[in-house]
Amino acid sequence: MHKGNWREAFLRLSPRTALKNLEQPYLYHIGRDELYELDEEGRDFLARCDGTARGCELNPDQSFVEFCLEEGLLETLPQPDPSATPIGNSPLPSLRYLELQLLHRCNLSCRHCYLGPPRPDEMPLVDALSITREFAATGGLRLMISGGEPLLYPYLREFTSGTEGMKIRRILLTNGTLVNRESASWLSVDEIQFSLDGWRRGHELLRGTGTFDSVLRGIRAAQDAGIPVSIATMIHRGNLDEFEQLRHFTVEIGALEWGVDILCMAGALERNRDLNVPYEEAAPFMEYAYGGGYHGSSDGFACGRHLMTVLPTGKAVKCGFYEEASLGDACHGLSSCWQNLEHIPLEMLECKGCPVIEECAGGCRYRASHLLAPDKAMCAYYGIRTDSLP
């Protein structure tokens, strides 16, 4: 039915949208990874758009309906076709982003990997589905499916198909070497993030001979299967002269986003310190990044305000760098683990008086020398002199 006839049509939320009660009501477009702020009246109206009532019966605000139709948030139906419109009610602060590490094994031995030597830990499928189901039911937005290398998880096909109807955006984080035409044909995810840590020389310096061609084949296979792709790059000694090439490539393939970050001293990097680049030299390369996939701070708090990680054992942690600081067993309740996470106000940081503290938000708490110290990588990025900092 034509959108102009919406008053006589049956209105229903588009399949790729979901109502979320976070700190306030939102409508989330899963396909575009976009949040639309709502007032209570807008939320209540959209909750009634379940395909059972005509537009004229819902007594809506005309401009609001037309905006929703234009944005692809509502659809018009010629006949009733009911579809439930559940609202995910989040704890406070809201848990919006969850990294789910399905296993610890990997097919590569990257010189910078923070996880250290592979272990046999592997999450049972029933637990992976249960944790994801709770995440979706409590207002979750983005699920980062990771490892190790998630393509080695023996139940990945069952996991992706089992989570397909959940109202979250599922992003597969992979080294890309195992993505091919066959696996891309059943990977029912919303996005695949490929690690590409330089052009051929720079990438293979970190990840090994032959990996560059493999990841490029994986990117092409994902795109041929219609799966949107994004790129993640670490700044290291061997790729500083390759960022222009990488920039042209990300534009050429239409990558949704390009995450660029500085190495953290952990895991295998302890044995490969020659890869490190001084913060002052590395920081300008962070300007190459684009897109909205940063899961950092908000509302006057430091990083991780809306993010948590679950390890293959089911243990919940602040993020993968804090493996030893357990928040509880997510298999026994994701929300209870989330309530155990301490959120750090910016006013507690040693750099609280910095003129860019609100914008920087203290940077990475792990990369800082201790929990409340400045992240001097971000100091370098914002041009703040570090000789006067703690």
Q: How far apart are CA 182 and CA 241, in angstroms?
A: 34
Whether the predicted pLDDT of 385 surpasses 90? no
Beta bridge partners of 317: 309
Mean pLDDT value across residues 43-58: 96
Structure tokens at 239: 């790729």
pLDDT of residue 1: 53
Are 276 and 251 a contacting pair, CB within 8 Å? no
Question: Band of the pLDDT at 295, cuts 50, 70, 90?
Answer: low
Q: Nearest to residue 235, comparing CAs of 200, 193, 202, 208? A: 202
- Reported as a single tens digit per residue, the pLDDT across 122-168 is 999 999 999 999 999 999 999 999 999 999 999 999 999 999 999 99
Matching CATH number, 97-343, of 3.40.50.1220, 3.20.20.70, 3.30.565.10, 3.30.70.270: 3.20.20.70
Question: Band of the pLDDT at 388, cuts 50, 70, 90?
Answer: low
> What is the model's pTM?
0.96
Q: How far apart are CA 390 and CA 384, in angstroms?
A: 13
Domain ranges in the chain are 3-89, 97-343, 346-390
- Reported as a single tens digit per residue, the pLDDT across 251-262 is 999 999 999 999
Q: Nearest to residue 45, comparing CAs of 55, 36, 30, 35? A: 55
Percentage of residues in the chain having pLDDT higher than 70 = 97
> What order do you get walking across the sheet with 87-89 strand by strand?
34-37, 25-29, 17-21, 87-89
pLDDT of residue 331: 96
pLDDT of residue 129: 98
* DSSP for 179-200, written as a single string: --HHHHHH---SEEEEE--SSH
Q: How far apart are CA 178 and CA 46, in angstroms?
A: 41
Strands 25-29 and 97-101: unpaired
Q: What is the dihedral of CA 345, 351, 355, 356, to 10 degrees?
A: -60
Whether the predicted pLDDT of 369 surpasses 60? yes
Whether the predicted pLDDT of 61 surpasses 80? yes
Q: Is 66 exposed, middle or buried (0-12, 13-18, 19+ CB in 10 A)?
A: middle
pLDDT of residue 102: 98
Strands 34-37 and 142-146: unpaired
DSSP-derived letter for residue 262 is: E
- What kind and span of H or E run contains 45? helix 40-47
Whether the predicted pLDDT of 2 surpasses 60? no
Q: Nearest to residue 60, comparing CAs of 4, 11, 3, 1? A: 11
Are 37 and 4 a contacting pair, CB within 8 Å? no
Quick count: other Cβ atoms within 10 Å of Cβ 371?
13
Are 194 and 176 a contacting pair, CB within 8 Å? yes
Quick count: other Cβ atoms within 10 Å of Cβ 16?
15
